[in-house]
Copies of this chain bind each other. A is one copy, B any other.
Amino acid sequence: MARHQLNPKQFHNTIGAHAPALTIESGDTVIAQTLDAHGFDGEGKQRGHDPNPMTGPIAVSGAEPGDVLAVAIKRISPMCSTGWTRSGLAWNVVDPALVREMPARDKIIWSVDRNKGEASLAEPTTALKNWSMPLDPMIGCFGVAPADGETISTATCGPYGGNMDYRLFRAGTTAYFPVSVAGALFFLGDAHALQGDGEIAGTGIEMPAEIEVELRLIKGQPISWPRGETDEFIFTVGNARPLEQALQHATSEMLRWLESDFRLDRVSAAHVLGMAVRYDIGNVFNPAFTVACRLEKSVVAPFARRA
């Protein structure tokens, strides 16, 4: 189980079958340097450009279409004492009649205090002078090369992952992606120090990061959409517009998960979901929106789970 450092010279603004920056074995760990969404590194040097320059791809030996790539997120370390957001909110998350009264979308700097574990405005408004929030680092954009020969902008997301901007992709979570090309070709970047649901500011607190992930292949258990698991939850992710379609994808994928791994017939799976499901809105800003379908592990604990 080797450990690799990845600090590439070249970054990608699309996710597709690009030449691997690194090739590893299943079970290996990678410590990757990622740029912020505009391409800046921890020293404030611009080494890539928007949208969301990706570190990678990382090829995993032996990965084939139909496999699953499990990505255990071990650590997401801010590489900088500042980050940035936009002021105001995305136009589409407020009533259309309010759009003309919203603040301009200026770039705003935040302090990212790694000692205190807090984020606060670098030049706070009067009202927010004493206001801070705990850091909660997450990966905004990651995933594997898409199916069907597609090469997709890192502005958006799909069955392969991509720019999902979902809070639960944080340290301690294992994400699962459906492999569509030989080697899987895993990309990551666009870390956020903190972000609310929906990425409704159009950004989280954007930052360069050092991200440690352990990559592992799972054979013979194909999936259709990204999935995830924490100590407390299992979840599935749908990426599409409108929100209703993203929700349909996520719910359908959870039905399949309950059937295949927890041995529930569809009637039983529907009963469990109907009474216990939680939905999270990952992003309601990108070209494709993200909805997660989430269950507490305690809910499915009574069922024998496939190893």
Contact = CB atoms under 8 A, between A and B. Distances in A.
A25 interface: no
Interface string A137-178: 000000000001111110100000000000000000000000
A265 interface: yes
A24 interface: no
User: Can you tell how many copies of this chain the complex includes?
Assistant: 4
Contact of A271 (B121, B197, B240, B278): B121
Interface residues of A, number: 82
Contact of A249 (B95, B271, B281): B95
A100 B240 CA distance: 22
Contact of A97 (B91, B251, B268, B279): B91
Contacts of A303: 127, 131
Contact of A277 (B197, B242, B276, B302): B197
Nearest to A278: B197
Interface stretch (A35-43, A67-75, A182-190, A198-206): A198-206
Given A94-B251, A195-B274, 8 more contacts: A89-B255, A91-B100, A127-B268, A127-B303, A128-B264, A148-B153, A241-B245, A281-B281
A96 B285 CA distance: 12
A248 interface: yes
A243 to B, nearest CB: 4
A284 interface: yes
Contacts of A263: 127
A128 B93 CA distance: 36
B194 A275 contact: yes
Nearest to A255: B94
B89 A274 contact: yes
Given A125-B267, A265-B127, A277 B200 contact: yes
A241 B239 CA distance: 12
A107 interface: no
A204 B265 CA distance: 20
A276 B128 CA distance: 14
A251 B200 contact: yes
Contacts of A102: 266, 270
B96 A92 contact: yes
5 contacts: A127-B265, A133-B275, A133-B299, A196-B276, A200-B251
Contacts of A90: 96
A280 interface: yes
